[in-house]
Chains A and B, each alone.
Chain A
Amino acid sequence: MSWWSRLWHRGALEEQLEKELRFHLEQHTADLMARGVSPGEARRQTRMALGGPEQVKEGCRDTRGARWLIDLWQDARYALRMFARNPGTTAVAVLSLALAIGPNATLFSVVDRMFLRPVTVQGSSEIFFLYPKANRAGKSESPSYPDFLDYQARGRGVADFIASTGRGVLVNVNGANQLVFVDLVSDNYFQVLGVRAAVGRMLVESDARFEGAPPVVLSYSLWQRMFGGAADIVGKTVMLQFQPCYVLGVAPRDFLEPSHGLTPNDAWAPMNAATLLGGREGLTQRGKGIVDITLRLRPGVSRQRAEATLSAIAAQLNREYPATNRTKAVSLSPAADRGKAMVGAIILSLVSLVLLIACANVAGIRLAQGEARRREFAMRLALGAGRGRLLRQLLAESLLLALVAAGLGLLLARGLIQAIPAALPSLPVTLDLGLRVDARMLAYILALVMVTTLVTGLLPALRVSRPDLTAVLKGETPSARSRSWFRGTLVVAQIACGQFLLVVTGLLVGSYLQVQHIRPGFDMSRHLLFATLLPAAERPEATFYQDMLGRLSALPGVRRVASAGSLPLSGSGGGAQQVSIPGVTEEPVSIGAYWVGPEYFTAMGTAILRGREFTALDSAGVVIVNEQMARGFWGDAGRAIGQFIRVDGKDRQVVGVVETGKYQTLLEPPTPIFFLPTHGGGTVLIETAGDPAAMADSVRKTFRESVPGVTINSLVTMRQQMGVAFFLWRAAAGLLGIFAFLGIFLAGVGLYGVVSYGVTCRSHEIGVRMAMGARPADVLKVVLRQGLSMVLIGAAVGTAVAVAAARVVSAFLYRVSPAEPLALAEAALAVAAVTFLAIQMPARRAIRTDPMTVLRSE
């Protein structure tokens, strides 16, 4: 019989045991009576011979393999009875833990997605990225597709090379367009990565020689999102960038490419399909650094050897193609990035402090219960129970608490995960972060449960399972001093952890405030509405954009309308172009460019330092540069006007210089950028007289009624648009803030417990003091001294640790010193508020102590 079936048939086993022993007794009695012993005497002798029937039964039960499980079940039932007897404290304990476990698990799924989850390809330790290395001028230049083909051909001995280049394309489902990300990949991409399709098959080398509709592989998320997970998707035709494509298959659900970013790809197509999928940038040009190269080392090839080979190839290319490759250099970086895992671990350990605070609460409660249960434990020890058995009982109770809390925490985490998309800034694309309750998250929760069980069970268990038996059984209580010392330490630790989190939060908030003062090169308080448009046809008519802008500017409440290809700090645009000064430098440098329409700078509130901005009359022959670029090229903004630069072989005259802004991130150093004129861009800027959000509906209506042929992909105000740029700061400060306040709140609960318990224990002393003439203020002093000393020690320790550890989070900090006064003040305020709330109730109770009642109870 397996231990499981033994447990299952426990009732039947017990019955049989009973029956077997009864048979024995009756048989023995019958034998004795047959020998002439009187029935009464026979029964007596029989029982004497067998000994205590319960002991015999226990002996038999001990031989069963399922014994431990049955004991565990008993422990659990006993624990449940204990909890039912103290519903209030049990609820506090469970809620404390659930409040800590839920957010911790939620954050784990985010951190896991961003930093921890390994790339899901076979042998990811052999996968490396070929990174462009910064040259002497401090610039790193990406490899081009011809470069990739050369590396592949010449480096065959050391590694397999794959290339990919991403782009946004329109997917048309049921007549509506939507923007998705497609990765164009080299023909060996999925074979080298070793990825099997969830449905159908992935791209193979022969797919590169397609005729007619290009083959594509969809991501699991896109398949679910837009095609409802239809099983017959393979062989269907989907419209990508107005081009029918043939669906080969669906990638596995958990597929993460080695070079994945925050935005997962939605589909993959062969590199040759580039021209069909709206590829204006030539894959054949060696000067276009647009591909990411990844490689898998061949067996037995070391990283050093591969790096040497690749550097040699780069040097060959430098000599063979001096015009484009003169300053290109490469280095290797492992795909299994330890640094990222480190960041994830730091974030998780920061917020797991909240769980420790909650654990300390529960440990404190258990300790108090343990004190009350001293007699019970002493009794059981005296009756022969082993210490191990008591320890197991206490651990079982903790485990039960932790499991119930984990269940609640899981529900909380599920709710939070569903709420996360609403907290994200609105983007013109659907971001599927792939957050869900999965096996990894459950495993993390289980790990939290184990830690919780050990911390909340072992601490009190070690203290209460060695009582002085005789003293306890005689009814003596240990001194209040030794009893509260331990809990006091716990509270100090709790306050320290809470204070630590508060100070770190303060630093992040301080950084966020500083970052908001950065001028991004335009006016952030403008009344602007941005509409990102998706055309329904590949080439809208020439007059389309002019018509549309005209109609919009005729709307009441609209001051100005402009258009742009894409906006700074929006996460897209600013792609590099090869720029040179004709007659001065023939060696091109790559500089980012934006396409903007007439009146763009006025609408955005960007300062025009010299010259003018684009007008409706401008042709392709003009360009506007930012101050940084003007200084770099001509030494001074004033000298730039009228000069020519060569962009992609075409000469353009500089007509204006605008202030240098921020283009990719808020913290980037001043970067040279230039602007090219366009008369129709995918983004429309609408400057309104009043609140732009109020205009959104009428703008939408105008589009629907009088501008056929486009879909509004997103319509956001300037404030929302900037949300993208500030998002990481806000998210970091906000998240840690939530955890910090949760932490200090839980620490407050712990403080309340200890102070309140202290008042109860000392009610006699307080009563006597009051009877002797102590005033309420004196009593208050006694209570406050105990509570405040714990808070002050804890806060001091927490602050010291936070200031010392600020370096760890320095990557998230901007222009704040570790001892930022604002951060310290915020933390001090929060701790003071929590302390006041936690202490005032027990303090009031202490003051109201009636000496007569106390003395009478003696």
Chain B
Amino acid sequence: MYSLPPKSDLPQGTLDLLILKIVALGPVHGYAVAQRLQQVSRDVVQVPQGSLYPALHRLENRGLMAADWKETETGREAKFYRLTRKGRAQLESESASWQRLTEAVGLILRLSEGGGE
């Protein structure tokens, strides 16, 4: 009805984690978040911009990020997001559980077919 399902190839919930990580590096505006996600992941992660902004607003409304209007290097006013203390804690716990999950997935995928190790 109102929200379209995010059409990124990212697993559910990962987008929030990635945004939190990017914002943790320093205050940044929405366009830069998109750019950096693309650059850092070497173009693997392409966030549809349609889902980026709802995600940013969601994180802001949940109190994980705060935003201020500041001037960019080019002298234009933009909305800069930064992590709150709650956001930082969320990032740490989410990263940790992501690590555990990927390790576990890796372990399972490394199983040799036709028998145990």
Contacts and interface: CB of A to CB of B under 8 A. Distances in A.
B79 A20 contact: yes
Nearest to B29: A23
A64 interface: yes
Interface stretch (A51-59, A547-555, A765-773): A51-59
B57 A60 contact: yes
Contacts of A52: 50
A63 B31 contact: no
Contacts of A728: none
Nearest to A28: B31
B61 A64 contact: yes
Contacts of A63: 54, 57-58, 60-61
Interface string B53-88: 110111011000000010000001111000000000
B105 interface: no
B48 interface: yes
Contacts of B27: none
A384 interface: yes
Interface stretch (B1-9, B18-26, B90-98, B108-116): B1-9
A23 B76 contact: yes
Main secondary structure on chain A at its contact with chain B? helix
Nearest to B32: A27
A56 B61 contact: no
A55 B1 contact: no
A59 B1 CA distance: 10
B50 A56 contact: yes
Contact of B2 (A19, A20, A59): A59
B49 A51 contact: yes
B48 to A, nearest CB: 7
Contacts of B30: 20, 23-24
Contacts of A65: 61
B70 to A, nearest CB: 12
B79 A55 contact: no
A23 B31 contact: yes
Given A16-B79, A24-B30, A59 B49 contact: no
A56 B54 contact: yes
B3 A51 contact: no
A683 B29 CA distance: 92
Nearest to B56: A60
A51 B5 CA distance: 13
Contacts of B69: 16
B80 to A, nearest CB: 10
A261 B21 CA distance: 73
Interface in A360-390: 384-386, 389
Nearest to B48: A51
A55 B51 CA distance: 10
Interface in A291-311: none
A452 B20 CA distance: 48
Interface residues of A, number: 28
Given A20-B79, A23-B31, A23-B76, A389 B50 contact: no
A19 B70 CA distance: 13
Nearest to B78: A23
A513 interface: no
Given A23-B76, A63-B61, A51 B50 contact: yes
A389 B1 CA distance: 9
A59 B50 contact: yes
A27 B54 contact: no
B79 to A, nearest CB: 5
A162 B31 CA distance: 80
Contacts of A50: 49-50
A62 B61 CA distance: 11
Given A16-B79, A65-B61, A55 B50 contact: yes
Interface string A595-638: 00000000000000000000000000000000000000000000
B61 A59 contact: no
Interface string B12-43: 00000000000000000111001000000000
A62 B50 contact: no
B55 to A, nearest CB: 8
A24 B53 CA distance: 10
B31 A60 contact: no
A201 to B, nearest CB: 52
Nearest to A53: B50
Interface in A679-713: none
Contacts of A27: 31, 76, 78
A230 interface: no
Contacts of A16: 69, 79
Given A20-B79, A51-B48, A384-B1, A59 B53 contact: yes
Given A384-B1, A386-B1, A59 B51 contact: yes
B20 to A, nearest CB: 15
A-B CB proximity, top 9 nearest: A59-B54, A51-B50, A63-B58, A60-B57, A63-B57, A27-B31, A50-B49, A24-B31, A20-B79
Interface of A: 1, 16, 19-21, 23-24, 26-28, 49-52, 55-56, 58-65, 384-386, 389
Given A27-B78, A49-B49, A58-B2, 18 more contacts: A20-B53, A23-B31, A23-B78, A23-B79, A24-B30, A24-B34, A24-B49, A27-B76, A50-B50, A56-B54, A59-B3, A59-B4, A59-B51, A60-B56, A60-B57, A63-B60, A64-B57, A65-B61
27 contacts: A19-B77, A19-B79, A20-B53, A23-B30, A23-B76, A23-B79, A24-B31, A24-B34, A26-B76, A27-B78, A28-B31, A49-B49, A51-B50, A55-B4, A56-B50, A56-B53, A58-B2, A58-B3, A59-B3, A59-B51, A59-B53, A59-B54, A60-B56, A62-B2, A62-B3, A63-B60, A64-B57
